[in-house]
């Protein structure tokens, strides 16, 4: 396992993103996409264990050291997918694999289904399609999202007096993580502010989506994927309880012990996920 990593920045014209670059220069091109409110350090345990891959682990827009979107803009899934394509152009990668966790897995599925000719392999960790809803909920959801957007102007980010308190807050977040995982995410996600520390992530990331796909629309992306795909399901994660959805997926699937961040929470989990994906990519 090599831990060599290069910090890079990519100017996409409309936004500048930060990233970590791992692996040999002649390795198989892979773009790695982290989960909601995480950052590129999500792959700091996993990426060095993957063999023969040139992995570009992004800070998605609004996360980590990447720029926030301009005032008035939002964080739609299609905009993330567009960013990834711009990144591929910057890297000179006409074809590339995607490695995604949670939100990053969702973006990966949408992109691989939209442009199946561009994506060579799909490696997913505890995420597949976005949350769905029926058409009868569309107007109510839009109203809820618009009101939340207006209220955001009067809200201030939480300030944690100490670094340790900020890390503990991340450990107890909507999706709990280990202390080690929280510390790794904090290295890239925290910034000093008057009175302590605050998370760098854009507050607009917490806004509800004004629209959602219905289940048939979401599954249409899955059905168009043409490349080999491998899904790691965390036994104590978010997908394990969605057996009906999992049975509909035409992907190779493997369930591993651990929570939603099993690839980051500890060395044992990272090793299990790496062993799984090294077999999937098939590079000796």
Could you give the dihedral angle defined by the CA atoms of residues 82, 213, 31 and 3, in that order, rounded to the nearest 10 degrees? 130
Catalytic: 102?
Answer: yes
Please name the helix (run of DSSP H) or strand (run of DSSP E) that holds residue 139, with its range, or none.
Answer: helix 138-152
Cβ neighbours of 113 (radius 10 Å): 21
For 151, other C-beta atoms within 10 Å of its C-beta total 10
In terms of residues, how long is the chain? 284
Give, in degrees to the nearest 5, the angle at Cα 58 between 146 and 260: 75
Beta bridge partners of 9: 18
Q: Using a CB cutoff of 8 Å and minimum separation of 24, what contacts does 278-283 make?
A: 278/49, 278/50, 278/51, 280/121, 280/123, 280/228, 280/230, 280/252, 281/28, 281/50, 281/51, 281/52, 281/53, 281/97, 281/121, 281/123, 283/27, 283/28, 283/51, 283/52, 283/53
Catalytic residue among 102, 108, 198, 201: 102
* Gyration radius (Cα) of the chain, Å: 18
Residues catalogued as catalytic: 102
């Amino acid at each position: 396992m090599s831990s060599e990593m290069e910090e890079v920045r990519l100017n996409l014209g409309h936004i500048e993103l930060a990233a970590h670059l791992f692996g040999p220069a002649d390795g198989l091109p892979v773009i790695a996409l982290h989960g909601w409110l995480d950052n590129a350090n999500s792959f700091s345990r996993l990426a060095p264990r993957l063999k023969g891959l040139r992995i570009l682990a992004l800070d998605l827009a609004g996360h980590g050291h990447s720029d926030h979107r301009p005032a008035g803009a939002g964080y739609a899934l299609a905009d993330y997918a567009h960013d990834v394509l711009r990144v591929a152009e910057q890297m000179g990668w006409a074809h590339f694999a995607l490695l995604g966790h949670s939100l990053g897995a969702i973006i990966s599925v949408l992109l691989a289904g939209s442009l199946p000719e561009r994506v060579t392999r799909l490696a997913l960790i505890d995420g597949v399609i976005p949350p769905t809803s029926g058409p009868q909920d569309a107007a109510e959801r839009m109203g809820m999202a618009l009101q939340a957007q207006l209220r955001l102007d009067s809200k201030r980010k939480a300030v944690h007096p100490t670094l340790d308190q900020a890390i503990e807050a991340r450990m107890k977040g909507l999706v709990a993580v280990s202390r080690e995982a929280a510390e790794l995410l904090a290295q890239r996600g925290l910034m000093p502010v008057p009175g302590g520390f605050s998370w760098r992530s854009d507050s607009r990331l917490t806004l509800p989506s004004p629209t959602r796909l219905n289940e048939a629309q979401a599954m249409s992306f899955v059905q168009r994927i043409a490349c080999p795909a491998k899904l790691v399901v965390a036994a104590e994660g978010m997908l394990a309880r969605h057996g009906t959805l999992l049975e509909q997926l035409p992907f190779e699937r493997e369930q591993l012990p651990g929570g939603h961040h099993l690839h980051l929470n500890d060395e044992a989990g990272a090793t299990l996920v790496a062993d799984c994906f090294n077999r999937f990519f098939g590079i000796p």
